[in-house]
Every structure is written in C-alpha cells, then in structure tokens.
Structure 1
C-alpha cells in the first residue's frame, strides 16, 4: 500500500510523486496554483517523467501571464517533459494519475497533502477516465518563448553582458507580469540594453525574433521609460537610412549598479 505524501508546498508533494514514476503522468483538473506547482516541480527534478497537464483555459492564462513561469513552462514543453491541454469541462479535485497510483491533492494552506491509493479498480477507472478526457481536449497554445532560447539569442544577437543583466534583473523579481506592481520582460530587457548602451533597433529586433514582443511594443515601452525618467536615447547616424537610437540609463548612479538594484529602482519609479 502506498503512503500519503505531505509537504508545506504543492510542488514539494508533486516532486515526490513525479519522482516515483517513469510517465506519462496525468495531472487533471489543475487549479492555477497546481499549474504553477507542476512547472516548479519539473524544474526541480533532474530525471522527470512526461507530465500531461489538464486544466481550464483561465488557469493556464492566469499562470502564464507571468513571463517567469511561462518561459520556464515553454522550456519543459520544448524538451518534451510537459504537455498542456484545456479541459473540455470542469472537473473536481486536482488529481495525479500515474502508473499504479492515484493521488488527490489537498491544499490546506499551511500544509499540502497527497492522499494516495493503489487499489487496482480505482486506478484503472481513474486512468481510463483521464485518458478519455485528455484525448477529447484541445491543446493549449503557449505563446511565451522558452527561457533558454531567450537567453541564448540575447547573448548572440546583442552581447553576453546584456544577457547577464537581463537574467540578473529577472532573477531578482518574484513575478514578471507587467501589472501595477511588477516589471515585465520588455521593460527588463530595455533596462538591460540601456545599462549596456545598446541600440533600440537591436533589442527590439531580438524581442520580435524570439517572440518576446513586437517591435511596436518595445517602442511604446521605451517611450514610457523615457517619460518616467529611467532611460534616455541618443541618435546614432548610420550610412543609409534614419539614425538609430542608443539606449542609456538616465540616472548616472544606476549605470554601475547591480541588476537587482536597477530593477528595484525601476519598480519604485514606475509604481
């Protein structure tokens, strides 16, 4: 008989459950919290199984609005570790169905339980049900690019120092949703480019090529950062065509600052 699993966090329970199976493992009726926990758990396991995640469309959209989580999930999808499908209809409690085991996730706030059973009839019925629902569901289109691709292309298209500052700023953030309290990936990349005095043309082309955002979005965000007094631009003549704009940090005190300090200053100004 399998033992129940307990932890302070959902991803802690999932790490232990995933680590016992070769896959594919189904996670059905995932809430937004469970979707995020699945991504975190896969990132923490070196030899992880293929996880098939079934959730409502709103749960996926809520979680993946955060660039940090969305880009991490995209890495797992690209590597074949994660598949995402939208449930055709709402289910009940979040459940993990693996080989020979069913685990029901119970989030009690300060404590999370994985209540488990290996009773053959229950496991077979649960697996049949989840496979039928999976086959009847449509794929969720994750538009966020993989973080590994974003970083690699940033280092190649601009410079390793821009990539390092971009990564440092993102690592200092809890979330990157671009709402009233958070910076987003476009703002962070422009600040990293400005710290290294890169061209707006180069960073916006990188953003469009990788799928981070359109050139128009980069242009609008650049204007907002200028209006806020965070960055400045200077014209750089070229042989043919209109001059291009070089980005710089407006506050000289930030030009030698660490990435986390720049991100914190930007959050303070923008909020």
Structure 2
C-alpha cells in the first residue's frame, strides 16, 4: 500500500489492517464506536501491531467501552503496551488516522468504509504536530473493565476449566448472535454459565468482584432477577460456620440442553 493512497473496504477492519501493515505508530482521532471496536479486533489479532493511541471525547469513549467485549479487549491491549487511550477536545475534522507518513480521513457510508489519504510531508507534519500537542494535554481514560485474558485465566483457575470453556463458548455465541453494537450484560452471562455448572453464588460473585467485572451486590441483584424470571434456581448448601451458601442451577423447565447458543440467546433477551 502506498502511503497516503485512498483505501476502500466493506468494514473498518479492512481499512485498519491495510494501515497497520505500513505503520509503526498510529494515532486515531475522534473515532466512531465501530472504528474503536474494529481497532480492538485488528490489534488483538495482528502479529506485530503498531503502537496505537486513541484520542477522543470522554462521552463517546464511555459509550463504546460499555461493551464488555470491546472494553476487555482494549484492556488487554493497554496492559500489553500496544494501546493508549486519552480523552480531550480532539478537533472538528472528523475521524482521522495519523501515522508518521500519512493522514487518512475515515468516511463511512452505509456498508462501505473508506480512508481518504494524503502523504504530503508538510501537511502530515502539521497534522501530527497539532494532534500530538492535543495528546500531551489530554487526560488518560479510566478503563475499569478487566482484561479478557485475565477474566478467562482466573475463571478457569478459581472456578473450573469446564466453567471457563462454557464462558468462552457462550461469549463467542453472543458475539455471533447480537447485532452490531448490541449490548449485553456480562454479569447475566456469567451467572447463567455458573448455574450451568452448579457453581456456588458466593464463589462466582467473589471471583467476579476480585477480577473487576462487578461487585458482589451486583451479582446478587442479578441472581435475584434471573431467579424471579424462572431462569435459574438455587439450593442451600450447609457449611460448618454461618448461613448455608447457595448453589446456582439452571431451571430444568426452561433449559433442555443449555447449549452455548441458548445461554447467549437468553443473555441477549435479558439485556434487551
């Protein structure tokens, strides 16, 4: 790909993959939610991704990072040093991709995406200087979602490999089933997977709070809502000291085989 040439593709992923192939450092300015999601996917799967900075308003970033998958993948990239995210007044020039050799303006119309490029050295230098200055005074974005790799690793280690496998399968099914940018509740998904494996509420909620998904109180409230809807049941398990703990179970009348696709469908319906 020639630096600064126009790029056309059906998705942001196609455009970003092309830019990734020619850049060591990349600044993404005022991206759309779709562009941020595509960025996390492309960066996570690239063999040698460039160093990426994202500069955007706080409100748009909060909205897109409400998506657990996008945010947890972004957290992985931040932890690995690939991604940095800051908030501030970026500008009024629309979504831009800036590298050391070119500037692209991202345009999305219907199901088509294009990056209109310019590699004029003077222009690229001026744009880079402008946004580097904005980056220096911008605030770091507080991403509270844990890295997805940590979620998976600790779930397998602390709750069980079978529970982790079900969580992965259900999460993949959710991603395949939901419409673009459709939201789902990760606590609901986690509790359904836990119930499928007869996990104690105490264990899954403690793990969820420790890893940073949600508080024990949130897990408890969501459990109550799922129980009231007839999706899960609980049974008391005596312990040596204190009140009995609750074992989570799927309601046999509502679930036949409890496949990953079925758990995903229930999660999406519950989150709607």
TM-score (norm 1): 0.92
Measured against aligned partners, the alpha-carbon deviations of 1:41-79 in whole angstroms (never above 9, x if no partner) come to 212322101100001111111111111111111111111
The DSSP-based 3-state class of the residue aligned with 1:156 is helix
Q: Is 1:145 the counterpart of 2:146 in the alignment?
A: yes
Shift in Å, 1:175: 8.7
Q: Give the Cα separation in 2 of the matches to 1:64 and 1:213.
A: 15
- Runs of 4 or more, structure 1, over 3 Å off, are 174-177, 265-271
Shift in Å, 1:145: 0.6
Shift in Å, 1:268: 4.6
Asked if structure 1 preserves the Cα contact closer than 8 Å seen for 2:174 and 2:268, the reply is no
Q: Give the Cα separation in 2 of the matches to 1:119 and 1:267.
A: 47
Q: Give the Cα separation in 1 of the matches to 2:135 and 2:242.
A: 53
Q: Give the Cα separation in 1 of the matches to 2:250 and 2:114.
A: 48
Unmatched tracts of structure 2, length 5 or more:
none
The DSSP-based 3-state class of the residue aligned with 2:30 is strand
Q: Give the Cα separation in 2 of the matches to 1:164 and 1:203.
A: 15
Asked if structure 1 preserves the Cα contact closer than 8 Å seen for 2:97 and 2:105, the reply is yes
Rate the CA distance shift 1:90–1:101 in 2: closer, same or farther, 3 A. closer
Q: Give the Cα separation in 1 of the matches to 2:130 and 2:169.
A: 44
Q: Is 1:247 the counterpart of 2:248 in the alignment?
A: yes
Asked if structure 2 preserves the Cα contact closer than 8 Å seen for 1:228 and 1:270, the reply is no
Range that drifts further, 29-38 or 222-231: 29-38
Match of 1:16 in 2: 18
Q: Is 1:159 the counterpart of 2:121 in the alignment?
A: no
The DSSP-based 3-state class of the residue aligned with 1:235 is strand
Match of 1:4 in 2: 6
The DSSP-based 3-state class of the residue aligned with 1:21 is coil
Measured against aligned partners, the alpha-carbon deviations of 1:149-176 in whole angstroms (never above 9, x if no partner) come to 0011111111011111111111111399
Superposition pairs for residues 123-134 of structure 1, below 5 Å? 123-134=124-135
Rate the CA distance shift 1:136–1:161 in 2: closer, same or farther, 3 A. same
Match of 1:186 in 2: 187
Asked if structure 2 preserves the Cα contact closer than 8 Å seen for 1:103 and 1:115, the reply is yes
Asked if structure 1 preserves the Cα contact closer than 8 Å seen for 2:86 and 2:140, the reply is yes
Measured against aligned partners, the alpha-carbon deviations of 1:181-216 in whole angstroms (never above 9, x if no partner) come to 854111111111111101000000000000000000
Match of 1:74 in 2: 75
Q: Give the Cα separation in 1 of the matches to 2:119 and 2:83.
A: 24
Q: Give the Cα separation in 1 of the matches to 2:99 and 2:270.
A: 48
Shift in Å, 1:95: 1.0
Rate the CA distance shift 1:94–1:265 in 2: closer, same or farther, 3 A. closer
Q: Give the Cα separation in 1 of the matches to 2:61 and 2:140.
A: 11
Asked if structure 2 preserves the Cα contact closer than 8 Å seen for 1:176 and 1:184, the reply is no
- CA RMSD of the aligned region, Å? 2.0
Asked if structure 2 preserves the Cα contact closer than 8 Å seen for 1:176 and 1:183, the reply is no
Rate the CA distance shift 1:38–1:269 in 2: closer, same or farther, 3 A. closer
Q: Is 1:204 the counterpart of 2:209 in the alignment?
A: no
Match of 2:111 in 1: 110
The DSSP-based 3-state class of the residue aligned with 1:106 is strand
The DSSP-based 3-state class of the residue aligned with 1:172 is helix
Aligned length: 267
Match of 2:96 in 1: 95
